[in-house]
Copies of this chain bind each other. A is one copy, B any other.
Amino acid sequence: MPAEHDPAAALLRQRLAVVLFRPKFAENVGSTARACLNMGCERILLVDPRDYSPERAGPLATVHAEPLLDQARIFADLPSALASFTQVYGTTARLGGRRATILSPAQAARQIARQMLEGHDVALLFGPEDRGLTNVEIDRCSHLISIPTATPSVSLNLAQAVLLVLYECLLAARGQPSAIPKPVRTDLVTHTEQEALFTALQHLLTSIDVLPRSNPDYGMTRLRRMWHRLGLTRKEYSLVMGVCRQMQWAVDDRDPGR
């Protein structure tokens, strides 16, 4: 089926992006472009790539996927790359400790397909080849995906990880009852707006000593996770932001000498 008559592929093209955080090898960016084209996700964002050169990436992309490399946008940092997305799925090989619920690629894909149909812009975030995403980047994700392998000690190649997640997304989009995207929604909360709320909350909670000033991050991770689970609308978000601001004023007013 040509892509223009394939509503599932059209949905991925319109709503999904692959974000590579600090990729080390230009060749892997090239292979990723080829995998993206194969599965219908044509938007690639590179965040602070190490030593990137389109000349080294091109041959691995093959001539078909080179346009995806030409259109790939490069960002200096993660917040600007993720700014406009309303859902961010991070991929991780590690399963322990601080991390939120981890989805399999198929579970995540079903959820992503539904969200894309609802008008969400979804980013799939992949870490550097050698060490993956750290807790700092993980905290920015609304959901986490881990790819099952037979040998957990050995990692997948970056482009192969991208391929598997996109493959499941394409299958899930094709499995949706109707893969016709709804009109663009304006009531969804972007990544940048979410981060503004977390900053406000962290400021508030440290100023009333709920979070320790020395290390507020740990407590914030739990709050972030709760927030991501809630999936508030824009109206609810504005309400929470308003309450936050009011409380901060009250707290700042408490003792002008502090």
Task: Give A residues with C-beta under 8 Å from B.
Answer: 1, 3, 6, 8-9, 12, 31, 34-35, 37-41, 62, 64-65, 106, 147-157, 159-160, 163-164, 167, 170-171, 174
Contacts and interface: CB of A to CB of B under 8 A. Distances in A.
A64 B154 contact: yes
B31 A150 contact: no
A8 B148 CA distance: 12
21 contacts: A1-B152, A3-B150, A8-B150, A12-B150, A31-B157, A34-B157, A35-B157, A37-B150, A37-B154, A38-B149, A38-B150, A38-B151, A38-B156, A40-B150, A41-B150, A62-B154, A64-B154, A65-B154, A147-B167, A148-B167, A150-B170
Given A159-B160, A163-B160, A164-B164, A40 B151 contact: yes
In the complex, which of the residues A38, A40, A170, A174 has the most CB atoms of chain B within 10 Å of its own CB atom?
A38
Nearest to A153: B64
A3 B164 contact: no
Contact of A35 (B12, B106, B160): B160
A62 B35 CA distance: 20
Nearest to A36: B150
Contacts of A160: 35, 38, 159-160, 163
Contacts of A41: 150
A151 B31 contact: no
Nearest to A38: B149
Given A37-B154, A154-B64, A171 B148 contact: yes
Given A159-B160, A160-B160, A160-B163, A39 B149 contact: yes
A147 B168 CA distance: 12
A162 B174 CA distance: 22
In the complex, which of the residues A62, A106, A151, A155 has the most CB atoms of chain B within 10 Å of its own CB atom?
A151
In the complex, which of the residues A150, A156, A174 has the most CB atoms of chain B within 10 Å of its own CB atom?
A150
A38 B163 contact: no
